[in-house]
Amino acid sequence: MNKEGPAEHDLIFVSGHPRKTHRSWAVSAVRDARDRALPDLLDMLYRREVLLGAYAARSPENARRGGEYLFIVQNTRKLRDGQLAGLLDPQLFGELVERENRLRSGFGKDARLQPALSAYDRLECTQAAIARNARQYDLFEGAGWYPPLGFDSKLFQIARTLVRAATERPKPNGERLPEFQESNRAPLELELFSEAPIYDDLEKLTLADSLTYLAEKLGPGDPLVQTVLAGKSPRDRANELVSGTHLKDVAARHQLYDGGSAAVQNSSDPMIGLARAIDDTARGARKVNEEQDEIQRQAYAQIDAAQLSLEGNKEYPDATSTLRLAYGIVEGYEQDGQAIPTFTRFGGLYRRAREHEGKPPFDIPARWTQQRDQLDPETPFNFVSTADIVGGNSRSPVVNRAGEFVGIIFDGNIQSLVLDNIYTSKQARAVSVDSRAILEALAKVYKAESLVGELVNGKSRD
C-alpha cells in the first residue's frame, strides 16, 4: 500500500468486473434510447421519486419503510439522467455516427465483409419493432430492476410469480421461462417465500400511482384498463387489491405454489386474479421483445466479426461483468467554465457539512466529528481519474505503475454515465478514495494503528 497516494498526472490501473456496456450499439439503437426509451423511463423515475420522497417525509417510520426503494429510484434516475445528457451532446453523438459510417464504408470496400451491411438494416427494423411494443412491454411486463410500470407492487410481483409458476413448472425444463428453470429454482423460491415485511400503506401508494399511470398512458376507455380497474378509481382499486389479498401470508403462497395450476385457477384472491387477467398481454409483449432481441444479437455478432476482421483489436469488446484491466490518468476537468480540482481534502468534508448545517446527506458520523481536531485537513480524501469504468467497478482497486495500491473506486461523476455508450476523457471521471485518506482515518478516527502498520510495512511473521 502506497502511503504517499497518487500524484497529479500519474498513470493508474483499475482491475474489476464492469457490468454490461453498449458501445457497439448501432446508431439506430442509440437514437431510440436518446429520443424515446430514456425520456420515458426518466418520466416515471421522477414521478416515483416525488411520490416516495413525499411519503418518506411524513414520518421517520415512513422514511425507514420506503428509504431503500427511494434510494434505488434516485440512484437509477441519476444514472439515466447522465446517460441522456451525454447522448444529447452533439459532439459525442456525432462520434458515434462517425464510427458507424467508418465501419459501413470499410465493410463496403471488402467483398467478404459486405454481408455485414445488411445487419444494420435488420437492427433498424428490430429497433422500430421494439419501440412499437415498448408501451405494452413497459406497462405490463417490466424489465431489469423495475417492475411493470403499471403494476408497481411487491404483492403483485408475488402473484405474478405464482401464476406463472403454475404454468411453467409442468413444462419440460428447457421450454420454461428462464426464471422458472431448475437452475434458478432456489433463488426464485427464496424470494417468493421471503419473510421480509410488506407494508400495506406503501403498497397502496405505489400501486395506486402505477394504476393511474397505466390509465394515463392507455386511456381510461381501454378495455384492459377497464378490466384492471374493475369500475373503480386507481386509488380505490389499489386499496381493494392490497386489503383483500392473502399473499402477505407466506403459508398462503406455499399453498398456491404447491397446489399448482388448479390452486391458482380456482383462487379467489384479488391479486392472483389481477395477475391472471393481464398475463397473456404481458407474455405477448415479452415474446415480441425476446424475438427482436435474438435478431439483434445475431446482427451484432455479424458486425463484431466483420469489425474484428477489418480493424483487428483496435477497439476492445463491450464489458460483460468479466474481469478486465482499465487505465487512466489522475487529473481534474472543467465544468461550466470552472476548473474542478483533482483532489478533495478532509477540510472540505467539514466545510461542506457546515454549509449544509449537517443535514443529510451532508451529516457526519459522531466519531468523525469527535476526532476532527486529530485529522490533518490537508490530507487528500478523494481523487478523480480518466480510468474507463462503469457500474460494477465499485470497490475496484486502483494501483500505480509499481503495482502499489493508491486508492479504491467508489463512483463516477455525472459526466461518466455516458461511458455505457462511448468512452470520453473530456469530462468523464472515475472517483476513488485516496490511500492517504484510508490510512489517516484508520489511524486517527478508528485508532487502528496496528492495521496501518501492516498495510504500509507488511504483516509481521514473528
In the block, residue with C-alpha cell 487529473: 331
Q: How far apart are CA 297 and CA 302, in angstroms?
A: 9
pLDDT band at 360 (very low <50, low <70, confident <90, very high): confident
- Domain boundary assignment for the chain: 11-20+318-457, 27-308
Strands (E), 26-76: none
* Rounded mean pLDDT, 231-259: 98
Digit-coded pLDDT (tens) for 319-345: 999 999 999 999 999 999 999 999 999
Global pTM value: 0.88
Q: Is the pLDDT of residue 459 over 80?
A: no
pLDDT band at 460 (very low <50, low <70, confident <90, very high): low
Helix ranges restricted to H, 222-269: 223-229, 234-244, 250-265
CATH topology of domain 11-20+318-457: Thrombin, subunit H (2.40.10)
Cβ neighbors of 433 (< 8 A, separation 6 or more) are: 381, 382, 407, 408, 410
Q: d(Cα 52, Cα 69) in Å, to the nearest integer? A: 8
Closest CA to 424 of 119, 86, 162: 86
- The DSSP secondary-structure symbol of 382 reads E
Mean pLDDT to the nearest integer, 446-460? 89
For the ranges 152-161, 202-211, 309-318, the lowest mean pLDDT is seen at 309-318
Q: How far apart are CA 202 and CA 187, in angstroms?
A: 25
DSSP state, residue 111 = T
Our measurement of the distance from residue 291's CA atom to the centroid of its chain's CA atoms, rounded to an integer in Å, reads: 23
**Average pLDDT of every residue of the chain:** 95
Return the percentage of the chain with pLDDT > 70, whole number.
99
Q: pLDDT tens digits, residue range 432-447?
A: 999 999 999 999 999 9
Question: Which long-range contacts link 443-450 to residues 24+ away (Cβ below 8 Å)?
Answer: 444/371, 444/374, 444/375, 445/367, 445/368, 445/371, 445/374, 445/375, 446/367
- Hey, how many other C-beta atoms are within 10 angstroms of the C-beta on 203? 23
Residues 6+ apart with CB under 8 A from 350: 364, 372, 377
Average pLDDT of the segment spanning 235-247: 98
Tell me: the pLDDT tens digits for 292-302?
999 999 999 99
The C-alpha cell of 236 is what?
Answer: 380505490
Cell of 98: 462517425
pLDDT in tens, 95-133: 999 999 999 999 999 999 999 999 999 999 999 999 999
Residue 380 C-alpha cell reads as 487528500
**CA–CA dist 188, 196 (Å, integer):** 15
Q: Please, which pLDDT band fits residue 145 given cuts at 50, 70 and 90?
A: low
CB contact at 8 A, 446 and 399 = no
Name which of 236-250, 307-321, 420-434 the model is least confident about. Answer: 307-321
Is residue 400 within 8 A of residue 10, CB to CB? The reply is yes
Q: What is the structure's pLDDT at 143?
A: 78
Cell reading at 133: 411494443
Q: Is the dihedral of CA 420, 421, 422, 424 positive or negative?
A: negative
Give the model's pLDDT for residue 146.
78
What pLDDT, on the 0 to 100 scale, is given for residue 461? 54
CA gap 54, 37 in Å, rounded? 26
The type of residue at 305 is A
Residue 86: CB atoms within 10 A of its CB come to 23
| pLDDT per position as a tens digit, 38-93 | 999 999 999 999 999 999 999 999 999 999 999 999 999 998 999 999 999 999 99
CB 163 within 8 A of CB 245: no
Between the alpha carbon of residue 306 and those of residues 125, 314, 391, the distances in Å are: 20, 13, 28
Long-range contacts of 184-190 (CB under 8 A, 24+ apart): 188/161, 189/257
How many alpha carbons fall within 13 Å on the CB side of residue 101? Answer: 6
What average pLDDT does this structure show over 135-140?
Answer: 96
